[in-house]
Structure 1
Amino acid sequence: MPLEAKLFGGFQLLSNDGQEIKIANRRARALLAMLLLEPGAALERDHICKLLWTGRFEAQARASLRQCLLGLGKIFEPLGCDLLEVSRSRIGLNAKMVRSDIADLESALDDGQSAQATELLSAIGGKPILDQMSFGEDFEIWLAERRQTTEQRLQTRISAALAKLKTSDNLTEHDKLLDAWMVRHPASSRVIMSDLHSGKTRIAVLPFASQDSEDSEGYFADGIVDELITTLGQVPQLLVAGRTSSFQFRDAQVTLPEIADTLHVSYLVEGSVQRQNEDVHLNVRLIDGQTGFESWSHSYDGTIDDMFASREEVAKTITRELGRALKLNIEEPDVRQMTDNKEAYGLYLQGRALTRRAIGDGVLSKAIELLEQALEIDPEFAECWTALAEAHVYTAVYTPCLDKLGEVERMAECAKRAIKLSPKQGHAKAMLGLYQWTRNDAVGALDLAFEAYRMEPENPAVVMRLGSFLLYCGRTQQALPYIQAAIDQDPVDGRNYGMLCVAHLNLGNINAAIHAGQRMADLGQPSLHLAAATAASGDHDLAVEQYQKTRLLMNSVIFLPAGTTPMTPEAMDAYWLLAAKGIHSGREEDRAQYCQMLEMLHASLPDPCDPTIVWPAIWMGYAPMVFKTLGKQITPPNMVGLMSLWADIEPIRQTRIHPDFWDFAKRIGLIAAWDKYGWPDLLPAPSS
């Protein structure tokens, strides 16, 4: 039987009985991998020397290659395996003696073995080809080309296999294969489904004006807008701006073309709801984003009961009419199942509106109260269970909450209930992933995030959740496209720019990180990550100043740790100055002083794992504190700090190179996640 080579993830060579054949020489492993990536072709010795021994003299490189081949011969001789075909000028593989996981997958697809192909793809997951294998710029260029060629080859075979399954009406196998491929290549899966952002008509639905004395907060009008955003979002030819960004422009004193430019859309949908007693007049207009002129309008008249009973039909009608106006052949989309109870629906709209506001005394507790009232009326209301789950998550994150884990438990219960009632609740699955993080199950968290993405690939909250989970695992290059896609769809949600700032910082794109951090600050969010990026650029004085400025957001976006008493303004200013210098001045004495402060906070705060301890510890590379906080308990607010572990700058890298890091990574589930989804950009896989 032939040997088996694993090319997805870290390179491995397995014997007939499944045992790994240990090859200590990393260039020897690379040589075998190169030959396997170009099956049937023998490689020139000079070409191999150039890629694997860059910078060495020709004679020295050739001598190193000969030693490498001798070493491989000694390894394979006891196995009775004549693996290499060597001549004076070329080196090739005996194809009968070895097979690779790439070749196995291609054979399964070519032979119509869709179940086997799905199984192989599921095992491969998101692992890149030859992860963590690098020998200089020339090798990296060659490997990037081989990766691209191989992935394109696989995509062609996947497309053909999916088309064959669809033609034969084998939709179950079709969906399984597509789901498995989406885990690996969501972008190329969209090519298969003709669902790329490019080529779509970009559109935003703005908040409708409410002319109704009984609806002073606009909940009824917002409900109609939300139905439209959700329904239009299911149309393959449209890309709909996220609700968070669209609702930033309620009563905004800017022109419609300016709004369209900010949201990166070509068209705007706006409207009004006029209600008098039980009679309702709904007017919807399509606006050309470039000119601001109306290009189409639609009116609907009826009673409030008519409107509620037929709101799904109203959404479908408007979608259909929009399709005609935009000259798009739109198939009638599915409309999510809500509730048939008008009172429950009204309470749901009010509760969810407060949840999305999040900040403010009693805002989230009132949201939970309203949503629970709605569920008392209609306990089968799946969307409301999802909204209640979100309210509990926000309570843990945006309030000085002591019982963070209790809120997470309640969130998980609500999310599970939502999924049981409506299995397509992708947002609920994504939130359930947060619960898995708190249980040190990073694999389970990523599994749920990918599943949620397959269900709702156009929901920016779901897309960002997946991107953030990958970022927490150190898979920054894989995370970045998801983060960018979420921001592209929801460009005025300031919180997302923190993720983008950290992603660029992790990849060494300092200027891009500073730009993203500044955008976050401009949108009214804390500039903590901007300060980290500025410090990485070498401007420590400015970084200290930026970190201090965040103090101005105290009690509005940032809150004191739960269970603590308010500080005087003078004490607060002194603390923020101590923190800013400790994290970003670059002086060891400042760092040591603030590390002592963190020790004191850890010993005295009601929550010893509060993010006010965790985040600075990560930025200062204070590994012992990282291990005894995140290593003890991950919570929704402190887990965000995980994404900052992966910047290759001082002093952040000190945590990663600490001898206890591997035990920490194993304890919180990271190593299991790396084994399935690929190792971090900055860490070599164990095999290498």
Structure 2
Amino acid sequence: MEQAETQVAAQGWMKATLFGDFRIETPSRELVVLSNRRAALLLAVLCLEPDHSIDREALARLLWPDRFLAQAKASLRQCLLDLRRKLEDHGVDCLIVSRGEVALAPGSLACDLFELEAGLLSDDPAAAIATLLAIGNRPLVQGPPLNPEFDEWIASRRDHVDAQLRAAISAAIRNSSNATSERLLEAARARFPSYRTFNRAAHQARIAVLPFSQIDSVGGNFYLADGIVDELSTRLGGLSGIALAGRTSVAAVIDKGRTVTEIASDLGVDYVIEGEVRRDAQGIGVRMALISGQYGTEVWSDRLSGSIEDFFDGRKVIGANVIAAMCHALDLTASPAPSRKMTHDREAYALFLQARAMIQKIGVEGAFAKGIAFLEQALEIDPEFAECWTALANAHIMTAAITPSLERVAQSAEAARCAERAIALDPGQGHAFSILGIHEWTRFNPARALEMAFEAYARDPNDADVCSRLGSCLLYLGKAREALPYVEEAVDRDPVYGRNYAMLASAYLSLGEIDKALVAGQRLADLGNPSMWLALAQMAAGDHEAAVQTHFDTRFYLGTIIMRPPGMPPMDDAARDAYFGFAARGIFSGNPADRAAYCQILDGLHAAMPDPYDSSIAFPAIWMGHSDLVMKIYSECIHPANMFGLMSLWIDVDPINRTIRDPRFMDFAERIGMVEAWERFGWPDLLPADPRRP
């Protein structure tokens, strides 16, 4: 490598401009004019993959797809000769060409993209800010279409680069001072007009918006109170300096008859907003108050009035003045949030609100189906209702993930279709991008899944589900250290949502922080959730007896929070207790005979159950290090219910770690797309580089 770098330095290097029109310059700023467009694009492809050799046949098919392969290869050969001569005329010899591959010599390239990425990682991002402002919204390698194959490839690379830039900008903003973060935010919006950021600064106000009561003397299902809360939450959630508690957690604590101070304590917030909506023949009146979570005293309050049309047609009831007054009470500066594309149809909006309330009723039989029906009715009325398409996508993905279903991959595909429709109508729908990311896992494309998860976070970092799904995607890929801040954000935003504590426990276990994993697992159990992740932490701590008992205790959740495997009949209490006892010993006792016996049972269930890829088979296979079954299941089918188990694959404790230590693991990871994701986004914590390469 040292010899190659010395040779390159002696023979010159080049500077590429990748944003906008592709340009190449020598170190003396002499422009290298490439009149052959395909030669320029070939060099651009190499510049976008500077650390990788590219297969010559793949290049030929990319640039000359309309020719026979032999002709395309001949055209590539001539193109490479012309390109090399042109570069050598300017004192640059950076191409490495073999019979099978083409690459750039190490150290031969500088470009605006690399400088921007390095600037965002530096302690002083001033240069990155200047670069962002300079490139504006110019696309990567701008130019007219070439052919469908190349156009699709470059579009994918543009999405990939922009997703990485959004993630890097978010990290830089979190790690910068207030003044610098504001400048970064301004620069980010020069490229991404809808860019939003989650600011974890110490002065951030943590707020929960509670459901408003409604007093209606007119009648009719207008769901005004829900609508006011929805609009207020959306506006506040888009502001820097405010961390809004997730709807899931608010719904969970509000039903417990808590006082305001108790609710604030449960949700970990500084303030709560409560209110009341009155409707009569003259219009609507709204009373709302911002209340100190510590003392239960009013910090700010207001009374608003308007017509029904003000709210449904213009949403003027919760206007800029209300937000500004609330921010003033909090000593915050209100920053403009991206515009929100809603419906003007009252019935469609009421159906949307009803549906979202139904979809929050996790564990209530038929709730998701009713929610989907309401959303579909709303979209029949207003097919341009972007947020409704996102809600429908989420309903389908939740149905696939947490209800007994034999159509999980098909449901995921339908969710992706709805998410794509939402994004086409409103590119600011961050949550829709996260749903697309989930579906990419079912297509064995985790690299694309992570791109979508980063894109979702960049567009809507204040959404607890978006934080959670980015964190989970990183955990599935074994990148626990990188995932942890996003998982912690999700916990901060939704502190009584059990799924987030399962992720937190998995992240800590993957990082070897067993004591913290035990705390997270216990919190999961205390919230009334199945405590398998607490059992994992207990096993990792060496307390096998406690782990067996913890897992056995989860039997009471079967048929409610723990769904029955689809197509399988209910168990009576005796059969349930016998099975859970057998499973608990097999997974957590540490006894090799118990483990072997339960592995055999899982093999039989995999052969006989209607869904052979169900989480009831996949999860324990991972936890017991049954590598044959793990690799068979996930090589054949990843769906929204079983992918959650992948995060515990990376716990470096016997027997769980037997799968990642299996000699066939890297080939398995290649098959399901993990290796491609690692090559693009960095290798997992336990595999700092590809172990198959010298």
The two structures share one fold, judged by TM-score above 0.5: yes
Aligned to 2:171: 187
Summarize deviations over 1:113-157 as a string: whole Å, max 9, x none. Answer: x45635xx3xx9xxxxxxxxxxxxxxxxxxxxxxxxx986x241x
Query: Residues 14, 670 of structure 1: CA spacing in aligned structure 2 closer, same or farther, 3 A cutoff?
Result: farther
Native 8 Å contact 2:163 2:451 kept in 1: no
Q: Does 1:474 align with 2:478?
A: yes
Summarize deviations over 1:213-253 as a string: whole Å, max 9, x none. Answer: 88899943222212111111111122222222223232443
Aligned to 1:160: 127
Alpha-carbon shift at residue 542 of structure 1 (Å)? 0.8
Question: Which residue among 601, 614, 617 is the counterpart of 1:613?
Answer: 617
Aligned to 1:573: 577
- Letter paired with 2:545: D
Aligned to 1:562: 566
Summarize deviations over 1:574-594 as a string: whole Å, max 9, x none. Answer: 111111111001101111111
SS, match of residue 202 in structure 1? strand
Query: Residues 411, 174 of structure 1: CA spacing in aligned structure 2 closer, same or farther, 3 A cutoff?
Result: closer
Q: Between the two proteins, what is the percent identity of the paired residues?
A: 44
- Letter paired with 1:463: C
Native 8 Å contact 2:306 2:317 kept in 1: no
Moved more, 215-224 or 507-516: 215-224
- Once the two structures are superposed, the pairs formed by residues 219-618 of structure 1 within 5 Å of their partners are 219-276=223-280, 279-618=283-622
Alpha-carbon shift at residue 490 of structure 1 (Å)? 1.8
- Once the two structures are superposed, the pairs formed by residues 42-53 of structure 1 within 5 Å of their partners are none
Native 8 Å contact 1:471 1:503 kept in 2: yes
SS, match of residue 581 in structure 1? helix
Aligned to 1:117: 115
Query: Residues 558, 347 of structure 1: CA spacing in aligned structure 2 closer, same or farther, 3 A cutoff?
Result: same
Q: Which has the higher contact order (CA 8 A, sep 6+)?
A: 1
Q: Distance in 1 between matches of 2:376 and 2:598?
A: 43
Native 8 Å contact 2:476 2:647 kept in 1: yes
Summarize deviations over 1:504-556 as a string: whole Å, max 9, x none. Answer: 01111111101101111111211011111111111111111110111111222
Question: Which residue among 626, 648, 660 is the counterpart of 1:656?
Answer: 660
Native 8 Å contact 2:166 2:455 kept in 1: no
Native 8 Å contact 1:611 1:637 kept in 2: yes
- Letter paired with 2:181: M
Q: Distance in 2 between matches of 1:582 and 1:417?
A: 46
Query: Residues 400, 598 of structure 1: CA spacing in aligned structure 2 closer, same or farther, 3 A cutoff?
Result: same
Query: Residues 275, 250 of structure 1: CA spacing in aligned structure 2 closer, same or farther, 3 A cutoff?
Result: farther
- Letter paired with 1:172: N
Query: Residues 530, 16 of structure 1: CA spacing in aligned structure 2 closer, same or farther, 3 A cutoff?
Result: farther
Alpha-carbon shift at residue 405 of structure 1 (Å)? 1.2
- Once the two structures are superposed, the pairs formed by residues 191-210 of structure 1 within 5 Å of their partners are 191=176, 192-194=180-182, 196-198=199-201, 199-210=203-214
Summarize deviations over 1:378-415 as a string: whole Å, max 9, x none. Answer: 01111000000011011111211111111111111101
SS, match of residue 314 in structure 1? coil
Native 8 Å contact 1:231 1:334 kept in 2: no
Q: Distance in 2 between matches of 1:539 and 1:2?
A: 51
Aligned to 2:136: 171
Alpha-carbon shift at residue 562 of structure 1 (Å)? 0.4
Alpha-carbon shift at residue 499 of structure 1 (Å)? 0.2
Alpha-carbon shift at residue 336 of structure 1 (Å)? 1.0
SS, match of residue 567 in structure 2? coil
Q: Distance in 2 between matches of 1:278 and 1:360?
A: 38
Native 8 Å contact 2:471 2:487 kept in 1: yes
Query: Residues 494, 212 of structure 1: CA spacing in aligned structure 2 closer, same or farther, 3 A cutoff?
Result: farther
- Letter paired with 2:293: G
Alpha-carbon shift at residue 345 of structure 1 (Å)? 0.5
Native 8 Å contact 1:227 1:315 kept in 2: no
Alpha-carbon shift at residue 337 of structure 1 (Å)? 1.2
Query: Residues 251, 363 of structure 1: CA spacing in aligned structure 2 closer, same or farther, 3 A cutoff?
Result: closer
Aligned to 2:22: none
- Letter paired with 2:547: A
Native 8 Å contact 2:120 2:168 kept in 1: no
Summarize deviations over 1:38-82 as a string: whole Å, max 9, x none. Answer: xxxxxxxxxxxxxxxxxxxxxxxxxxxxxxxxxxxxxxxxxxxxx
SS, match of residue 648 in structure 1? coil
- Letter paired with 2:514: I
SS, match of residue 630 in structure 1? helix
Query: Residues 328, 684 of structure 1: CA spacing in aligned structure 2 closer, same or farther, 3 A cutoff?
Result: closer
Query: Residues 571, 326 of structure 1: CA spacing in aligned structure 2 closer, same or farther, 3 A cutoff?
Result: same
Aligned to 2:670: 666
SS, match of residue 659 in structure 2? helix
Query: Residues 14, 277 of structure 1: CA spacing in aligned structure 2 closer, same or farther, 3 A cutoff?
Result: farther
Q: Distance in 1 between matches of 2:383 and 2:575?
A: 49
Native 8 Å contact 1:178 1:189 kept in 2: no
Q: TM-score, normalised by structure 2?
A: 0.76
Native 8 Å contact 1:429 1:448 kept in 2: yes
Q: Distance in 2 between matches of 1:425 and 1:607?
A: 33
Q: Distance in 1 between matches of 2:516 and 2:222?
A: 39
Alpha-carbon shift at residue 15 of structure 1 (Å)? 11
Q: Distance in 1 between matches of 2:217 and 2:566?
A: 39
Q: Distance in 2 between matches of 1:215 and 1:389?
A: 31
- Letter paired with 1:679: W
Native 8 Å contact 1:165 1:174 kept in 2: no
Aligned to 1:90: none
Query: Residues 644, 216 of structure 1: CA spacing in aligned structure 2 closer, same or farther, 3 A cutoff?
Result: farther
Query: Residues 286, 365 of structure 1: CA spacing in aligned structure 2 closer, same or farther, 3 A cutoff?
Result: same
Query: Residues 647, 356 of structure 1: CA spacing in aligned structure 2 closer, same or farther, 3 A cutoff?
Result: same
SS, match of residue 631 in structure 1? helix
- Letter paired with 2:425: L
Aligned to 1:72: none
Summarize deviations over 1:265-299 as a string: whole Å, max 9, x none. Answer: 22221111123457322111011222110121111
Alpha-carbon shift at residue 201 of structure 1 (Å)? 2.1
Query: Residues 343, 367 of structure 1: CA spacing in aligned structure 2 closer, same or farther, 3 A cutoff?
Result: same
Q: Distance in 2 between matches of 1:585 and 1:17?
A: 63
Native 8 Å contact 2:253 2:266 kept in 1: no
- Letter paired with 1:386: T
Alpha-carbon shift at residue 181 of structure 1 (Å)? 4.1
Native 8 Å contact 1:3 1:16 kept in 2: no
Alpha-carbon shift at residue 163 of structure 1 (Å)? 4.1
Query: Residues 618, 219 of structure 1: CA spacing in aligned structure 2 closer, same or farther, 3 A cutoff?
Result: farther
Query: Residues 217, 402 of structure 1: CA spacing in aligned structure 2 closer, same or farther, 3 A cutoff?
Result: farther
Question: Which residue among 617, 625, 630 is the counterpart of 1:626?
Answer: 630
Q: Distance in 2 between matches of 1:315 and 1:250?
A: 26
Native 8 Å contact 1:187 1:196 kept in 2: no
